[in-house]
Amino acid sequence: MTYRYEATSITGFVQQLAVAYLAHGYWFHVVGRIPSGKDPRAIDAKLLARYGVACSRCARTRRKQAGLANVQYLRCGRFFVLLASHGQHRLFEDEAACLRDARRSPIRFAGYAISHRGGHPHVRIDLEVYRDLKRRLVARALLRTSDHLVADFQALPFEPYAPVRRQLLNLLRAVNKRRKLAALPPVPIEAIRLRRRIVRPFEP
């Protein structure tokens, strides 16, 4: 069995993390970044072997029934995350100082904050990144044409998961509020992509 773990895009990484792992109870996580002088594949092999990640679905089911945790591994570039479900596992001992719960501490990656809230995965733009975007877009509201602002919104690199979509609509409202005060035409809602792309996380 080939265990697939290397996401080929940020979009694929976020989708796999949220939809395939957090949605299925892999809430306990530790993140890391592989130093530039080290071979990522060597680190991958070490972590996969150490935590017994690459096991079959049947083996995972048996472990769950026995009260043992299962572990998943996901990497994009040099950023990686190890995730565990409820139960006993050496990951909880080895990484006790760094382990976090996605229901309380989001995984921050590429401007996203990915967590689990209200029984569902929750993907949003990280708050600090969002505030910076708001400052920049509102500052441009009176300096650029509506068409240029449409291009600015369409260039934002975030998939419109429901929380992201709400944030983008809030940004659009803030820009249009300022433009309205200056009697400038609004930026149309078509500037925001409302449906996210579904990708194959491990394929180019």
Residues 95 and 152 in one domain: no
Residues 30 and 97 in one domain: yes
pLDDT reading at 1 higher than 70:
no
Domain contains 168: yes
Which domain-ending residue is among 124, 159, 174?
Answer: 124
142-to-3, 118, 202 alpha-carbon distances in Å: 51, 39, 42
Residues 98 and 134 in one domain: no
Which domain-ending residue is among 124, 157, 179?
Answer: 124
Residues 99 and 49 in one domain: yes
Domain contains 135: yes
Tokens standing for 111? 């401007």
Domain contains 196: no
Tell me the per-residue pLDDT of 79-111, one tens digit each, with 9 for 90 and over. 999 999 999 999 999 999 999 999 999 999 999
Residues 93 and 131 in one domain: no
Encode 155-177 in three state secondary structure.
CCCCCCCHHHHHHHHHHHHHHHH
Residues 134 and 98 in one domain: no
Mean pLDDT of 50-62: 92
Domain contains 197: no
Domain contains 4: no
Domain contains 199: no
| Strand ranges (E), the chain | 28-33, 71-76, 79-84, 100-101, 107-109, 112-117, 120-125
Residues 138 and 81 in one domain: no
Domain contains 142: yes
pLDDT reading at 191 higher than 80:
yes
Residues 133 and 58 in one domain: no
- Domain holding 77, by residue range, is 10-103+119-124
Q: What angle do CA 26, 27, 32 make, to 5 degrees?
A: 95
- What pTM, to 2 d.p., does this model score? 0.93
Single out the residue of 195, 153, 194, 196 nearest to residue 14, CA to CA.
Answer: 196
Domain contains 167: yes
Q: How many domains does the chain have?
A: 2
Number of residues that make up the chain: 204
Res 204: pLDDT? 82
Residues 86 and 19 in one domain: yes
What φ, ψ does residue 118 adopt, rounded to 5°? 55, 30
